[in-house]
Amino acid sequence: MKGNQNIREERTADMMTAVQNWGGVPSGWTRRHLLGLEDVTAGEITLLLDQAERFRNVIVQGERRIPLLNGKTCVNLFFENSTRTKTSFAFAARRLGADAADFTAATSSLAKGETIIDTAKNIEAMQIDAVIVRHSCPGTAKLLAENINGHVFNAGDGPHEHPTQALLDLMTIRQRFGKIAGLTVALVGDIAHSRTARSNIWGLKALGADVILCGPSTLVSKNWEKIGGVEVSHSLDKILDRADVFNLLRIQFERQVVRPFPSTREYAHLYGMDSVRLAKAKKDVLIIAPGPINRGLEITPDVADCPQSAILDQVTNGVAVRMAALWLCLNR
Ligand code: NCD
């Protein structure tokens, strides 16, 4: 039987060869963690999206494993529900040759009173390299980054940030238009409680897009206009022919303390994207949504499945973006 040292050396050699074949580690990335997009520069976003594009091209051509992170271990630490983000982080890690494990919060010792830092430190003591964390409390990812040695990836911290979701949205927009700068992107829906909206605002602004935030005044504050480069509209009908992209956000019922509108029927009537509204939009408009989508509420089924919709492309891009994020941070 091979000794541990030999196995480690072989894995490292495989990884070095893979890195060489890949063209080396790109320079210009210095971040150890990916916690949010608020302070990330246009150069960093572009570098990450370029890497993601390369990963996507290789994957869609049928290559399932690029062993750039051979022997590394990533753990999903999710305290909130997730379908796409959790699965695609796991796929991203595995496609890079890393091991991926899930930590199920509901059955963990947190229920017995352990703090999140203690839990993370215990997981880290099992020799892991990266923690991907989702939690309802803003700042959780940052707190972990300050307290553990591994790399931390924010997979959503309450209504605060969801950087990889915004990056995959940006990638999908860039694929369709070949650029982000100069486009008008409308984020429609529950801006007040949406981490996707917040990360999108920072990323879109950094890359030079004009952002319109649209929704009822109970969910979209005029204060957003104070940061510059952001316009607030409470009427979807008035902005239909102005936006190149509509990003239709889910109403985050689970975060709302009071009901922000009289009924879901009224919301759908005023802010739902349906075929009548779509017909009034630009011919080459792009429809995206982070998912899960509520068919009939923020988007009707015919619009969700129409040619202008890139909702499933977003999911494919999600794996590539997370591969790029893991690869850049773990190899910086
Ligand atoms: C988003 C989230 O969890 O914040 N979804 C996701 O990551 N795919 C948006 C949402 O839940 O509406």
DSSP string, 170-229: HHHHHHHHS--TT-EEEEES-GGG-HHHHHHHHHHHHTT-EEEEES-TTTS-GGGGGGSS
Torsion of CA 222, 138, 208, 244, to 10 degrees: -70
Relative to the CA of 249, which ligand 1 atom is closest?
A: 12
Is it the case that residue 146 has pLDDT exceeding 70?
yes
Q: What pLDDT is attached to residue 22?
A: 84
Relative to the CA of 156, which ligand 1 atom is closest?
A: 4
- Least confident span in 105-109, 173-177, 261-265: 105-109
Residue 51: name the closest of 296, 329, 321, 332 by CA.
Answer: 321
User: Can you give the pTM of this predicted structure?
Assistant: 0.94
Is it the case that residue 63 has pLDDT exceeding 90?
no
Q: Are 212 and 243 in contact (CB under 8 A)?
A: yes
For ligand 1, whether the C-beta of 165 sits within 6 Å is yes
Q: Compute the distance between CA of residue 59 and CA of residue 55 in angstroms, rounded to an integer.
A: 6
Q: From the CB of residue 210, how many other CB atoms can be counted at a distance below 10 Å?
A: 18
Domains of the chain: 23-162+317-330 (3.40.50.1370), 163-314 (3.40.50.1370)
Q: How far is the CA of 123 from the centre of ligand 1 (A)?
A: 25
Bigger pLDDT: 265 vs 1: 265
Q: What pLDDT is attached to residue 12?
A: 77
Is it the case that residue 273 has pLDDT exceeding 80?
yes
Mean pLDDT for all residues in the chain: 93
Is it the case that residue 100 has pLDDT exceeding 70?
yes
Is it the case that residue 272 has pLDDT exceeding 70?
yes
For ligand 1, whether the C-beta of 156 sits within 6 Å is yes
Relative to the CA of 83, which ligand 1 atom is closest?
A: 8
Q: Compute the distance between CA of residue 79 and CA of residue 329 in angstroms, rounded to an integer.
A: 23
Q: How far is the CA of 314 from the centre of ligand 1 (A)?
A: 12
- Least confident span in 100-109, 249-258, 314-323: 100-109
Q: What pLDDT is attached to residue 109?
A: 63
Q: How far is the CA of 159 from the centre of ligand 1 (A)?
A: 10
CA-based end-to-end distance of the chain: 33
Q: Compute the distance between CA of residue 21 and CA of residue 145 in angstroms, rounded to an integer.
A: 31
Instruction: Report the percentage of the chain scoring pLDDT > 70.
Output: 97
For ligand 1, whether the C-beta of 272 sits within 6 Å is no
Q: Are 177 and 153 in contact (CB under 8 A)?
A: no
Q: How far is the CA of 216 from the centre of ligand 1 (A)?
A: 20
Find the mean pLDDT for residues 154-177: 98
For ligand 1, whether the C-beta of 51 sits within 6 Å is no
